[in-house]
Amino acid sequence: TEENVVLSWTPMDAKGSLLPEMKLQSTARGQGKPDWISYDSANQSILFDDSEVGADGRYLSGSLSHEATTSMTVFWLGHYAEEAPFASSGTYAYNIGPNHTSHQRDDSGETYIVEQYNGTTYKGDSIQGFDGIPTVWSTVVNGSSHQFYANGINLNMQGDPTYSIPADTSLVVGAYSGSGYDFVGSMRELLIFDVALGDEDRMLVESYLANLIAPTQPEESLRLSHTDDGLLLEIPSQHILAQSSNLHDWTVVPYHYRSRTLEVSPTENRLFFKSQETFQTLPSGVVLFTRVASDTFREVQLHLDTGELYFIGEKSHGFDLYTSSGNHLWWCYMNTTSKGSGLLEYVMEHQGQAATDKESAIEAGWHTYTADKYRFLKLEPLEGQKTFVNQEGPQQAGQTDTTRAYSEDYRTIDHETLFFTLYQNSQNGHIYLGAGGDSVERQAGIIPPGDGTPEKDNGLRADIAFRATIELTEEQKMELLHQFLPQAAIHGPEAVAYEYQHPPGL
């Protein structure tokens, strides 16, 4: 350091010997000021304080010295600041590689979550409750798996990664790279092992770091304050809020999860509120929500009270015909761009009618989809859902002039007797929407010609506006309640698909 400005950071090995070949140098991005990285002697921590939104930044940069590996364990003791200029794009505490393993705080919906980027972005739980609080962060990557922890709490990092870390890879602390995404916060310790530690060893290291400065858990109290407009509830991070008029029957209340607040009208007399991370019995009114996407988005809304599930997307989505290996069905992708939170996958795996829905689908056209990896969720069209078939093929196969969405190329067919289902290949994570081939042809009176190719691209179009009734056990409902924050319902029986300008060929 020079006064309190950090010029470099030299690591030590397990015996306390300095490793100058791995020294990290303070590096400017643009006109990043040296004092944006400083040393806090009172807390023995390095402070990162790039408060500028722009092209300037400051980070520590160097290289590790190790053999090529598929495994690594990384610990750091410190915190992310509550406010950061690149919070909505992601702020990196460190990045190894780059793009081999990293630790990142990024926005997601109404909160901030932990993310990992190794060429693919993987998402975990909310970590907003740890903002500004010294925390022990742990990451274990091992070939095709990864686990992220905060103070020993599993952050449920999603995805099926592949890790291959070359020898002597680079290390950036305080940013993604020279391109930015600067870290704002503090870091006291950074420990790197070129192996995947087991749980027992990991917890020993976490305990050592925790003893350096005992991590404080997030504030757990529900607070009420007066505002000019009434009352304001402040709710602890990741807590579920419920209200009651009699202290016996409790109803879940969605709130603004990013600000963790709820405005309460002073006219709402005799309402009691409580917030907690776990419930022993299921409160009423729980609605869960996620989005998946391929080209555009689809919304999944599940009511735990009734089991009602709504699947709502765009109008006039195009399907292709699949007849290989004796199958006879129309299909399309639903989640190749975004797989959402995992709510839909959980429902498809655990819903009580899974076996019956699979038998129905096999009979309806999915004749060879008998393997355990295939899961089905039969859907029922909502009243406002419309289904279309085209009338003529193009003069030359593959042309799209007879499959234009919203045009006279199509006529509407009755959806009442059509077989629709969501289906999933659990090995690759893809979820598809399909229609039974026989049911379409019986209703249409023809095999829709689509674009004239064997796949008859876009021969069938359908509004994505469906419902299903999900059977779950009370235990499974409680598991979902504690895994996903409740939301306000936005869809119901009257829901319709949204307007969408289809790209050419879709």
Res 311 pLDDT > 80? yes
Same domain, 421 and 355: yes
**Spatial separation of the C-alpha atoms in residues 385 and 388, rounded to whole Å:** 10
- Answer with the one of 212, 234, 256 that is the final residue of a domain: 212
What tokens were used for 431?
Answer: 């979820």
Same domain, 248 and 136: no
- Average pLDDT estimate for 181-206: 93
Same domain, 166 and 39: yes
Report if residue 496 sits inside a domain: no
What pLDDT score does 52 carry? 64
Same domain, 126 and 260: no
**Spatial separation of the C-alpha atoms in residues 300 and 342, rounded to whole Å:** 11
- Average pLDDT estimate for 285-313: 96
Res 395 pLDDT > 70? yes
**Spatial separation of the C-alpha atoms in residues 352 and 470, rounded to whole Å:** 7
What pLDDT score does 12 carry? 93
Res 267 pLDDT > 80? no
Report if residue 361 sits inside a domain: yes
- Average pLDDT estimate for 355-378: 98
**44 pLDDT tier (thresholds 50, 70, 90):** very high
Same domain, 44 and 158: yes
Report if residue 230 sits inside a domain: yes
Same domain, 202 and 163: yes
Asked if 254 and 488 touch (Cβ cutoff 8 Å), the reply is yes
What tokens were used for 6?
Answer: 């950090």
> Can you spell out the DSSP letters for 355-404?
HHHHHHHHHHT-TT--STTEEEEEEEE-TT--EEEE----SSTT--TT--
Same domain, 201 and 228: no
- Average pLDDT estimate for 313-335: 97
- DSSP assigned state of 326: G
Q: By three-state DSSP, how is residue 199 classified?
A: helix
Res 49 pLDDT > 80? yes
Average pLDDT over the chain, rounded to whole?
91
Same domain, 233 and 201: no
Number of compact structural domains in the chain: 3
Same domain, 437 and 456: yes
> Can you spell out the DSSP letters for 91-138?
EEEEEEETTTEEEEEEEETTEEEEEEESSSEEEEEE-GGGTTS-EEEE
Cβ-based neighbour number of residue 305 at 10 Å: 14
Cβ-based neighbour number of residue 83 at 10 Å: 10
Helix axes 474-483, 343-350, angle to 10 degrees: 170
Between 189 and 220, where is the model more confident?
A: 189
Q: What are phi and psi of 205, to 5 degrees?
A: -65, -40
- Answer with the one of 169, 187, 212 that is the final residue of a domain: 212
> Can you spell out the DSSP letters for 19-57?
-GGGPEEEEEETT--GGGEEEETTTTEEEEE----SS-E
Res 1 pLDDT > 90? no
**pLDDT of 55-66, one tens digit each?**
678 899 999 999
Rounded percentage of the chain residues whose pLDDT exceeds 90: 68
Res 111 pLDDT > 90? no
Asked if 311 and 462 touch (Cβ cutoff 8 Å), the reply is no
What pLDDT score does 278 carry? 86
Between 504 and 355, where is the model more confident?
A: 355
Same domain, 294 and 325: yes
Global pTM value:
0.60
Domain encompassing residue 314: 287-483
Phi-psi region of 38 (alpha: psi -120 to 50; beta: other; left: phi over 0): beta
Report if residue 15 sits inside a domain: yes
**220 pLDDT tier (thresholds 50, 70, 90):** low
Instruction: Return the CATH number at 166.
Output: 2.60.120.200
Report if residue 371 sits inside a domain: yes
Report if residue 505 sits inside a domain: no
Report if residue 493 sits inside a domain: no
What pLDDT score does 496 carry? 98
Looking up tokens 């393997």, which residue turns up? Answer: 371
Report if residue 498 sits inside a domain: no
**238 pLDDT tier (thresholds 50, 70, 90):** confident
**Spatial separation of the C-alpha atoms in residues 300 and 487, rounded to whole Å:** 12
Same domain, 358 and 269: no
**pLDDT of 425-459, one tens digit each?**
998 889 999 999 999 999 999 999 999 999 999 99
What tokens were used for 167?
Answer: 């020898």
Same domain, 84 and 183: yes
Find, among 47, 261, 53, the residue nearest to 174 by Cα: 47
Asked if 163 and 118 touch (Cβ cutoff 8 Å), the reply is yes
Cis peptide before 166 (omega within 30 of 0): no
Q: Environment class of residue 423 by beta-carbon count within 10 Å: exposed (0-12), middle (13-18) or buried (19+)?
A: buried
Find, among 161, 27, 173, 189, the residue nearest to 100 by Cα: 161
Q: What are phi and psi of 16, to 5 degrees?
A: 90, 10
Burial 314-346 (b: 16+ CB within 10 A, else e): bbbbbbbbbeeeebbbbbbebbeeebbbebbbb
Pick the range with the lowest mean pLDDT from 126-140, 146-160, 251-265, 267-281: 267-281
